[in-house]
Amino acid sequence: MKVLPILLLTAPALILSGCGGDDSGSTQTSNVSFSVSDAPVDEASSVTIGFTQVELVKSDGQSIFLDVEPSTPSHDYEQIDLLDYQGQDSALVITQKPIPVGTYKNLILHISNESGVNFVVDAGGTQDLKQPSNKLKLGGFEVTADETQAFTIEFDLRQSLVMRGNTGSNKGYILKPHGVTILNDKEAANLTVTVNSSLYANIEGCPTTADNAFVYLYQGTEGTLVDLVDPTDVDYTEGTALPSDALKPFATANVSDVDGTYKFGYLPTGDYTAAFVCNGSADDPIQYDQLTIPQPSNLVTTVSLSAGSNSLDMSSN
């Protein structure tokens, strides 16, 4: 796993805000590290963001603010291209900082509002990435009494990167919390899936090029094939409504041009359904496209993931 130090925190960067304090007069702390990683998005060659602060919101509403120390002294932000850290690679953004043990109901990434700092490079060139309120709220996590803990913020950019407007009237992009998870590295699962191209080559409706081939991963094993739908954002969906029992994928992965495998990084442990989709490039991750899943129909299976590395060979299906 490639892990690079990106954001360093200054000693006074830990600020407790809000009312009240701990009745005991002392607070148990644990040293934590945070990294970021992502699954790639169609068409984009760069998703670059300038982070200014990390805010940790405790269960009682108090916040801990961690200011970044930029690598360029004249800046008050540090830029990260999320596409540099895909699959099981990650960028270390906070290193061994003590914070109170307990449940945090939100992790909020504060983003620079300076012009030209946040952007996406796609087939149309460089597009603005304008985050509402200059914040990205990613949800909760728990810090236990273990002496040190490492967490990874995993972005599935295919689900979370949203174009404002449409291809003909692109108004730039925003990031949404869809497809973003915060996982304790010791509890996270990685999955490598193998599918032999001979199983879907020369089948009607199945393009043979690697950039069309995807594996969609669904949480649970109880769904029927009718339940499995392509990624969609209900806030943006137009036209055909989702089936009432629709099960949307937790994560998606495109075939690697290098070795023909599909790799998922930083997944919660548990049971999943893996379905192959031979025409995934036709999938608009915002709209419900009514893709046939799985395609071909025999390439679907279940898998139980434990912490650490896992593998799945769908070639025998």
Cα–Cα distance for residue pair 28/137, rounded to 1 Å: 25
pLDDT value at position 203? Answer: 82
pLDDT at 287: 81
The pLDDT assigned to 83 comes to: 86
Please tell me the pTM assigned to this model. Answer: 0.76
> What confidence score (pLDDT) does residue 88 get?
72
145-168 as b/e, with b when 16 or more CB fall inside 10 Å?
A: eeeebbbbbbbbbbbbbbbeeeee
According to DSSP, residue 189 is labeled E
Average per-residue pLDDT for the chain: 81
Q: At residue 194, what is the residue type? A: T
Task: Delineate the domains of the chain, giving CATH numbers in brackets.
Answer: 3-187 (no CATH), 191-313 (2.60.40)
- Cβ-Cβ contacts under 8 Å for 14 (sequence gap 6 or more): 64, 65, 66, 97, 98, 99
Token pair of 114 as six digits: 């300076």
H or E segment to which residue 159 belongs:
helix 157-160
The single-letter DSSP state of residue 129 is: B
What 3-state DSSP class applies to 202? Answer: coil
* Average pLDDT, consecutive stretches of 10 residues, N- to C-terminus, the chain (317 residues): 40 32 61 80 84 89 85 86 81 82 91 92 88 87 87 83 66 80 90 88 78 90 84 66 86 79 90 92 82 90 95 82
Phi, psi of 95 (to 5 degrees): -120, 115
